[in-house]
Structure 1
């Protein structure tokens, strides 16, 4: 089944073009918005699988919406922009954004991006990735939220996800979501014990 999608962009032609293209491809478009405030209301109301958001919009930017959604809503965020801006790019990386496309290539890349995101794999436009290569691999524990730090500390102490959920009075699903965010933030390998090894290596920085 195709994912549910919300689109937001303050450029009418871009919004109409994306909406028409995805509708033609039989994607499930729940709604569209021309500013960030409307977009965030739609996300809260519908909790779509995916939200395709312009970075620069009136009232709330795509980045600000991603910050509001982070840890609260499972909607996967795809950002689109005309700007080749390193600040936005690195903010997107820190916020666990699932997709990042330049508008000039959006209609060419959006289907591949959506297919990747549906599978849980982030998709960043090659043009933007080439311009801003990955910053290698300086561990910045401050990139973690307080909740992520607490969970990583407990992982370092050999606690299971079930035990962590009980200690922090949260659901197992929330624990797994935090773990997934940590793995993405630090580009950890997909091996089953990679997060445990990382937690133990960096335990001294988690106090």
Structure 2
């Protein structure tokens, strides 16, 4: 059975092209939207399996919609499409557990592979995007961390809570928070909410 899908993009030609491409392949396209507000309304009313969203749209961006869906614990899996090979957007997407990140210039050749991957619970990111971002070295700050702190970082990158990390190490949540505070200091991060989570997503391949 094909997954139910909604599509949102403020570029009419891209929206039309993607919709027709998927319909020709018998995907169940439940609705299309040209702005973020309509897209969010469709997600709330239709509860599709997958929402394919342009990152930059009026009212709500694809990233903002993903954040709302995560906060409200909607089951809809988010795929974002964009022309941007932007590391910051990529890291935001990973931190929000977005399932797919597809570059628009490759959308028609990659979207089916992306949907298939998402259906199986596996994130999909455009290979072109990954290769353009992966030419970096491990952050030197990692050398300042103890083996335990590195293990804590890895669990944070896997979205584990302080309680879950404490359970893994047989320590209290308070001790975990102390580790996190020390890690933030050693990495030179701000104490803003999620700063550590975002850092771990940016550098997940080195953890």
TM-score (norm 2): 0.70
For residue 161 of structure 2, give the secondary structure of its aligned residue in structure 1: helix
| Counterpart position of 1:23 | 23
Is it true that 1:84 corresponds to 2:85 in the alignment?
yes
| Counterpart position of 1:61 | 61
| Counterpart position of 1:179 | none
Long gaps (5+) in structure 1: 159-183, 189-197, 199-207
* Pair 1:40–1:46, CA change in 2 (3 A): same
Q: How many residues are treated as equivalent by the alignment?
A: 163
Q: Which has the larger radius of gyration?
A: 2
| Counterpart position of 2:110 | 109
RMSD between aligned residues: 2.8
Q: Could you tell me how far 1:148 is from its partner in structure 2?
A: 3.1
| Counterpart position of 1:162 | none
Q: Could you tell me how far 1:154 is from its partner in structure 2?
A: 4.4
The whole-number CA distance in structure 2 between the counterparts of 1:134 and 1:187 is 14
| Counterpart position of 1:10 | 10
The answer on whether the counterparts of 2:157 and 2:204 sit within 8 Å (CA) in structure 1 is no
Is it true that 1:148 corresponds to 2:148 in the alignment?
no
Q: Could you tell me how far 1:151 is from its partner in structure 2?
A: 4.0
For residue 83 of structure 1, give the secondary structure of its aligned residue in structure 2: coil
TM-score (norm 1): 0.70
| Counterpart position of 2:94 | 93
| Counterpart position of 2:189 | none
Q: Could you tell me how far 1:30 is from its partner in structure 2?
A: 0.9
The answer on whether the counterparts of 2:7 and 2:19 sit within 8 Å (CA) in structure 1 is yes
